[in-house]
């Protein structure tokens, strides 16, 4: 397993949540760094390239060069949408010939919040209520999981924020989610080992 890993995510919710969702891996790493675009900028393929380059040169300059980059993007659940979401990011990271570390693209199906439903038992405990009409055994198939979570919190007069997402992620068992969510399992696989593109 790579010892210095940088994960590129789309926003503050992901930046705060991913370290907790990956704690079963990061404990065996020397460095697990999660970065997002500055401000409220959207994660585009070009933005992902900039973040990878910045992290590489900054960390390499400190003698702590990343061994691997994983870009995490959101996508709809059907196979065509997944391919469409990944393609421009795959093409972008292949262009980074000046970065000798492997670069991978992974997808959080629909939204990272679907992964939260992958450990329904703990999510119910956190929310102190039932989860409504969702099939938590297939979290990647939940339609608009982020909006569903927002409604569940709103019913208890709570607001969904990046800090709340972090608290939820901290309460969940990543291994349980990995067993129920194929997209999370794929993300973990790319963090753990993965096979770089032949063009890299």
**pLDDT tens digits along 30-44:** 889 999 999 989 899
Q: Give yes or no for residue 198 having a pLDDT over 60.
A: no
Q: Give yes or no for residue 199 having a pLDDT over 50.
A: no
Q: What's the pLDDT score for residue 7?
A: 97
Q: What angle do CA 121, 125, 128 make, to 5 degrees?
A: 130
CA distances from 41 to 36, 47, 73, 110, 142 (A): 9, 9, 14, 19, 26
Give the dihedral sign, CA 66/109/9/149: negative
Cα–Cα distance for residue pair 171/131, rounded to 1 Å: 16
Nearest to 116, CA basis, from 94, 134, 97, 98 = 134
Q: What's the pLDDT score for residue 78?
A: 67
Domain boundaries, the chain: 1-195
Q: Give yes or no for residue 100 having a pLDDT over 60.
A: yes
Is-above-0.75 flag for pTM?
Answer: yes
pLDDT tens sequence across 102-142: 999 999 888 899 999 999 999 999 999 999 988 989 999 99
Cα–Cα distance for residue pair 47/59, rounded to 1 Å: 18
What is the phi/psi pair of residue 120, to 5°?
Answer: -60, -35
pLDDT tens sequence across 49-92: 999 999 999 998 888 899 999 999 988 766 677 778 889 999 99
Q: Are 48 and 198 in contact (CB under 8 A)?
A: no
Q: Give yes or no for residue 143 having a pLDDT over 70.
A: yes
Task: Please state the rounded mean pLDDT for residues 143-164.
Answer: 93
């Amino acid at each position: 397993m790579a010892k210095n890993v940088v994960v590129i995510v789309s926003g503050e919710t992901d930046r705060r949540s991913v370290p907790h969702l990956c704690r079963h891996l990061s404990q065996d790493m020397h460095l697990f760094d999660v970065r997002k675009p500055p401000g409220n900028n959207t994660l585009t393929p070009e933005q992902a390239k900039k973040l990878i380059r910045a992290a590489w040169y900054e960390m390499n300059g400190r003698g702590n060069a990343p061994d691997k980059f994983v870009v995490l993007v959101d996508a709809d659940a059907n196979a065509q949408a997944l391919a469409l979401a990944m393609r421009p990011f795959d093409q972008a990271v292949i262009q980074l010939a000046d970065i000798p570390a492997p670069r991978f693209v992974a997808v959080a199906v629909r939204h990272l919040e679907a992964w939260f439903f992958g450990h329904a038992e703990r999510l119910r405990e956190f929310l102190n209520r039932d989860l409504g009409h969702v099939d938590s055994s297939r979290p990647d198939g939940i339609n608009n999981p982020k909006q569903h979570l927002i409604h569940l919190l709103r019913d208890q007069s709570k607001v969904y924020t990046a800090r709340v997402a972090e608290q939820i992620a901290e309460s969940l068992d990543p291994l349980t989610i990995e067993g129920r969510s194929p997209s999370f399992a794929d993300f973990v696989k790319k963090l753990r080992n993965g096979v770089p593109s032949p063009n890299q």
